[in-house]
Amino acid sequence: MKYIDVFNGDADGIFSLIQWRKAFPVVESQIISGVKRDNALIQHINLEQAAGAIVTALDLSFDKNTEALRSILPSVESVFYCDHHQAKTLFEHPRLTTVIDFSPAVCTGLLVSDYLNQQHHAWAIAAAFGDSLNSVAYAECSKLSFSGKRAEQLRELGVLVNYNGYGADLTDLHFEPQGLYQALSAYDSPFDIVADSTSPFAALRDGYAEDMQKARNAVVVAENRSVKALLLDDAAWARRISGTLGNDLAHANPDKAIVIATPNADGCTLTISLRAPKSNLQGAGDICSGFATGGGRAGAAGVNALPMEQLDLFINAVTLAYS
């Protein structure tokens, strides 16, 4: 039997697949991933690979994979598809099982954990922290009687693995997602990763601290009662830190939407990360979907290539939505 595992390259995607493969171990699988914003990954499965395969797709926008999914379904044995982004193109097929919930207080890791009867729930909590669902993640820690120290270990691990997923392409990342998944899945628990000084955790912690120090000099291009918007440099460190910086600022400014703009290599467009106010977790995906190359979920979304001259227009749209 052939297995193909397709997952988003952030904490949610990686920790979702770790749970899945600990519950359903296989000798070998083909793994497909990419940078966090690369959601259209089903297209990388050709029909020869799909023939007779069991496909697992995790934390990928259904809408961005609909046509590619339709093309492989006649060939595969089955597809299990779990995600928490909007799915306006959702359809049924006898070879397709879907678990889709785009409520703002869930992530794919939590959905996978519930599907597996919480067999490996600590990984799901790390995924929730990575997706900036801190209140949800701390509540789940309490249910498992994790101490303050253990909860903070899961939080830091989730944040760091999520931070690693941001970049224009794989060369911006500290670890390619496929390799990071393989390294982390070798551990019995997320706490073992934190305890091992030779694990990717230590390298990610150092990289994160260095990038965050540089981000302290970011230019605030707009701030009002509803929005805080920052413009970062055209550099790999800025592309890496953009999403995590947005999450941190959202927690520090719970009544404001956070916009992080990072120049793209083409010199004329920006990558946009938008975080809805923590006090009003809705609308981010709808705002970004109103711009070409935009999309996301209710609490967090983005635009991959916003023309620079449209930055003020975007900020105005965010301000209007949350005023």
pLDDT digits (tens, 9 = 90+) for 269-306: 999 999 999 999 999 999 999 999 998 888 999 999 99
In sequence order, what DSSP letters do the residues of 141-204 get, joined into one string? HHHTT--HHHHHHHHHHHHHHHHHT-SSSGGGSSS-HHHHHHHHHTSSSHHHHHH-TTSHHHHH
Residue 211 lies in a domain: no
Task: For residues 55 and 190, state if they share a domain.
Answer: yes
CATH of the domain at 270: 3.10.310.30
The whole-number pLDDT of residue 296 equals 87
Q: Are 304 and 173 contained in the same domain?
A: no
Closest Cα to residue 33, out of 24, 42, 20, 25? Answer: 42
Residues 86 and 191 in one domain: yes
* Cα 150-152-158 angle, rounded to 5 deg: 105
Instruction: Say whether both 69 and 41 belong to one domain.
Output: yes
> Rounded to whole angstroms, how far apart are CA atoms 50 and 147?
44
Per-residue exposure over 205-220, b if at least 16 CB sit within 10 Å of its own CB, e if not: bebbeebbeebeebee
Residue 83 sits in the same domain as residue 191 = yes
Same domain, 175 and 234: no
Looking at the structure, tell me whether residues 89 and 201 fall in a common domain.
Answer: yes
- Indicate whether 201 and 55 sit together in one domain: yes
Radius of gyration of the chain (CA): 19
Number of structural domains in the chain: 2
- Asked if residue 33 and residue 87 are part of one domain, the reply reads yes
- C-alpha distances (whole Å) from 51 to each of 24, 44, 73, 108 are 21, 14, 9, 26
Is there a contact between 232 and 243 (Cβ–Cβ < 8 Å)?
no
- Domain-located, residue 271: yes
Q: Which residues of the chain, if any, have pLDDT below 70?
A: none
Say what the pLDDT of residue 20 is. 98
Burial 244-281 (b: 16+ CB within 10 A, else e): bbbbbbbeebeebbbbbbbbbeeeebbbbbbbbbbebb
Note down the domain range covering 81: 2-206
What are the Cα distances from residue 239, in Å, to 10, 58, 256? 14, 23, 22
